[in-house]
Amino acid sequence: MDRRDKNNYYLDIAETVLERGTCLRRNYGSIIVKNDEIISTGYTGAPRGRKNCNDIGYCRREQMNVPRGKQYELCRSVHSEANAIISAARRDMIGATLYLVGKDAKTGDLVEHANSCTMCKRLIINSGIEKIIIRDTKDSYREIQIEEWIINDDSLEGDGTY
């Protein structure tokens, strides 16, 4: 039996975490890992105590035909990366890796070209996380050094799509 490589092992865990997501469009799961230890997890969902989109039965952004990557201020959800960061101490995140998996809520397919939104990128940069690993297929992934986001500052670019 072949042993699962470490990155896919953690991505598999992040994929399980996203199953708690409540978004009607796309659900993401994130885990933050440092020194081979899971520091925290996060999934897409409304702030504590507020109703989730799956509870109210609609997505406001979908009703307004807001395209992917735009007008996140209209969304009820806190993104998985933000939820994972909120649940961890900064001292534990410095030099850590964030694993990210996204699935389409309707089809269950992995999100093509998944990436963090510009707001989550800012949170990740400030958290001290060193790199992000994003699932593309069941066995393949991309690794991004957060330093690239700092050097190639996209915060002044137009629409914020990813």
List, in order, residues 6 or more apart from 59 with CB less than 8 Å away. Answer: 23, 24, 25, 53
List, in order, residues 6 or more apart from 44 with CB less than 8 Å away. Answer: 18, 21, 22, 23, 26, 27, 28, 77, 78, 79, 80, 83
- Cα 61 to Cα 76: distance, rounded to the nearest angstrom: 9
What type of residue is 62?
E
Reading the chain (162 residues) residue by residue, the pLDDT tens digits are 899 999 999 999 999 999 999 999 999 999 999 999 999 999 999 999 999 999 999 999 889 999 887 888 888 899 999 999 999 999 999 999 999 999 999 999 999 999 999 899 999 999 999 999 999 999 999 999 999 999 987 654 544 433
- Cα 128 to Cα 30: distance, rounded to the nearest angstrom: 16
Tell me what pLDDT residue 154 has: 64
Instruction: List pLDDT tens digits, range 66-81.
Output: 988 788 888 889 999 9
Asked if 71 contacts 61 with a C-beta cutoff of 8 angstroms, the reply is: yes
Give the rounded distance of the alpha carbon of 85 from its chain centre. 10
**First vs last C-alpha separation in the chain:** 37
- Please name the helix (run of DSSP H) or strand (run of DSSP E) that holds residue 101, with its range, or none: strand 97-104
Among 106, 85, 105, 107, CA closest to 96: 85
Which backbone phi and psi does 64 adopt, to 5 degrees?
A: -95, 5
Instruction: List pLDDT tens digits, range 93-110.
Output: 999 999 999 999 999 999
The reply to whether the predicted model has a pTM over 0.85 is yes
What type of residue is 27?
N
